[in-house]
Structure 1
Amino acid sequence: MKIDDIIRKCIEVPGISIKRSNFSAELLMKTKEGKGSMTFFPLFPGLTLAYIFVNSQAWAAPNIRKDSSIEKGPLLLNYCVTGRCELILNNENFVYVKDGEISLTERFARKQYVYPRRIYEGMEFFVDIDTLTAQSAWVRKEFDIDFRKIIDIFCPNGNTYISTVTPEVEEILTRLWSLFDVSIPFSISQMKVYALALFSLLQSLHDIPSSQACTFFTETQVDIAKRVEKIITSNLRQHHPAWELAARFSVSETSLKNYFRGVFGQNISVYLREVRMKKAAELLVTTRLSVAGVAEQVGYVNQSKFAAVFKKQFSLSPLEYRRSKNLENR
């Protein structure tokens, strides 16, 4: 499927709009759950680079094929800069790509692109092999890059490849990432150079890191983790012991904790503490609640303990944080 077809399908999804320029197409997502942007730069016919910035737990996926929830499409190379994204493997299990990792796959998201930590930044290449072969044959001739060979190396039998990047690959990806803020059209030329260098390097790697022996999670296990996250964050004043949550879902406490850590990348206690501190920071700036009032709203009975945790998180006491933000907003 061509990238233009994918973009057209994307803007059929409620909450998604598009902004075009001479060199790019930017998809903008704004819903009650969050917002985000995907900026597509066509580098060559059949090869497109997208820069992704998301502040949301999910981005609704377009309906690529009505009769199936999973579609084999272009080769997708994803590089996670910050955050965490969810991928579905060909055995229908789930796995998560985190900071500093790349994935190569030919599989689309089923219903939505999922970012469990609600923050995601990264890059994604869309490689349409048929279009490249028909319209960009010179790439293979001049640079000896065979994209079908890359698929055979990294995604045999429809598998998904996930690995921490090697230093050589990371250097190229870091340079590509820095180009997003460089003036156009100079950055486009540089993107093309580094894109060709990236795929040439991937094709010629002698010691290819094995796809990580990731912990896979079933749809049921992922669902439990996400329901637990919703329960513990829906009312921060309430406390839910892990044993209570495990009993609710008829699993062991150890299993529950493993599911949660696998999906969200953190222990339940650490994740919840960060959510509480983020909400506390928001309340300090947007309300006139006392520090004790803010502490109570995010589940702390002891104001001193709340202040200590807050200072550890933000390197400022709650009152210092409020004053500094008020000065910034003047």
Structure 2
Amino acid sequence: MKINDVIKKCIKIPGISIKQAEYSMELILNTKEGKGSMTFFSLFPGLSLAYIFINSPTWTAPDLRSDSSITKGPLLLNYCVTGRCEMILNNKNFVYIKDRELSLTECFAQKEYVYPKRIYEGLEFFIDIDTFTLENTWVQNEFSIDFRKISEMFCPHGSTYISTATHETEEILKKLWELYDFPASFAVIQMKIYTLALFSVLQNLEAIPKSQACTFFTESQVNIAKKVENIITSDLRLHHPAWELAEYFSISETSLKNYFRGVYGQNISVYLREMRMNKAGELLASTRLSVAEIAAQVGYLNQSKFASVFKKHFGVSPLEYRRTRHLDS
């Protein structure tokens, strides 16, 4: 499966367009839910690298299963720089890749990529193993890189591998990430060098770190977590005790908290506090509401308590934050 075929399917999806440059192709997401971009650099025949920037809860994936000639997907390596991305395993269970973790899989993408925290930045390597093997014999001869071997090492029997990046692989991935800001004519050459180094390191690991993909959640558990998130954020003025939410879904309070933490990577209280503070910051910058009014809108009846939490979150008082934002505009 070639990356160009995938991109052609992507641009047929509403809200996704393409911008072509000399060294890259950029898929651009622009919908009412959010925005994002995936910038692809073709490094070798059969191997592309994408830089991903998402500010959206979802990104619709192309339906690759409609092609009956495709028996499995390409080898994908994802590295999360920041945020959280949902993945579905072959057994229909859900796992999550988060900051400083990498994943390798040949599973097809689900109907959409899901970003529970609405923010995601990362790298994705797209390897069409058959094409790479056929058209890059010099790479195999000079660097002994065998993607079939790498797939068998990390994804035996079609499994998905997720683990915190080792120190050596993380150093290479960080250098690759920094190249995005360099002129493409220079950066592409460096991307090729670091990419070969990365897969050489992965192939020659003496001990592969244990996959964390064993920590999974069922579809019903994920749905409960997402419904809880919708309930607690739909009106930030309201307070919903965990025991009350657990009772509503007929599960234990411990289970409810575990499902939520599994999907969103934070305790309910921490997640909700961040949502409240971010909304308060938005209101301070864009309205003339008083601090007391904003505090009430995000669920704080005590203005002093609100100001204390706000300063701890942003490092400045609400009035200082408003003043700074107005000076910057």
Q: TM-score range by the shorter chain?
A: over 0.9
1:71–1:108 Cα contact (<8 Å) kept = no
- Seq. identity, %: 71
Aligned pair 1:117/2:117, yes or no?
A: yes
Letter in 1 for 2:51: Y
Q: Provide the C-alpha distance between the structure 1 equivalents of 2:97 and 2:260, rounded to a whole number of angstroms.
A: 15
Mark the runs of 5 or more structure 1 residues left unpaired by the alignment. Answer: none
| Equivalence map 1:270-309=2 (5 Å) | 270-309=270-309
With structure 2 as the length reference, what TM-score do the two structures score? Answer: 0.97
Residue 22 (structure 2) aligns with: 22
Q: Separation in 2 of the partners of 1:243 and 1:216?
A: 23
Match of 1:41, as an amino acid?
Answer: F
Q: Counterpart in 2 of 1:10?
A: 10
Judge which range, 265-274 or 244-253, deviates more: 244-253
Given the superposition, is the C-alpha separation of residues 301 and 67 from structure 1 closer, same or farther in structure 2, using an over 3 Å criterion?
Answer: farther
1:71-220 correspondence to structure 2 within 5 Å = 72-212=72-212, 214-220=214-220
Alpha-carbon distance in 1 for matches of 2:303, 2:131: 62
- Aligned residues of 2:83 and 2:117 also touching (Cα < 8 A): yes
Which amino acid in structure 1 is aligned with residue 196 of structure 2?
L
Which amino acid in structure 1 is aligned with residue 2 of structure 2?
Answer: K
Q: Residue deviations 1:88-115, cap 9 Å, x none?
A: 1122111111101100000122111011
8 Å CA contact 2:84, 2:97 repeated in 1: yes
Alignment-derived partner of residue 327 in structure 1: 327
Q: Label 1:67 to 1:145 Cα distance change in 2 as closer, same or farther (>3 A).
A: closer
Q: What residue identity is the alignment partner of 1:183?
A: P
Size of the aligned set, in residue pairs, is 328
Give, in whole Å, the separation in 2 of the partners of 1:71 and 1:237. 50
Secondary structure of 2:130's aligned partner: helix
CA distance 1:213–1:65, change in 2 (3 Å): closer
Partner of 2:248: 248
Alignment gaps of 5+ in structure 2: none
Which amino acid in the other structure matches residue 110 of structure 1? Q
Looking at structure 2, the residues matched to 108 and 211 of structure 1 have their Cα atoms a distance apart, in angstroms, of: 19
In 1, distance between residues paired with 2:67 and 2:24?
Answer: 31
Question: What residue number does 2:310 align with?
Answer: 310
Q: 1:241–1:33: structure 2 CA closer, same or farther, 3 Å change rule?
A: same
Is this contact kept in 2: 1:71–1:107, CA < 8 A? no
How far apart, CA to CA, are the structure 1 residues paired with 2:133 and 2:202?
18
- Per-residue deviation, 1:134: 2.0
Any idea what the Cα deviations from partners look like across 1:195-242, whole Å, max 9, x if unmatched? Answer: 011111111111211112642100000010011101111111111111
Partners of 2:160 and 2:213 within 8 A in 1:
no
Q: What is the CA distance between 1:71 and its match in structure 2?
A: 7.1
C-alpha distance 71-255 of structure 1, shift in aligned 2 (>3 A): farther
* Paired letter, 2:224: I
TM-score normalised by the chain length of structure 1? 0.97
State the AA in 2 paired with 1:119: I
- In 2, the alpha carbon distance for the partners of 1:174 and 1:96 equals 21
One-letter amino acid of the counterpart of residue 225, structure 1: A
Equivalent pair of 2:41/2:49 in contact (CA under 8 Å): yes
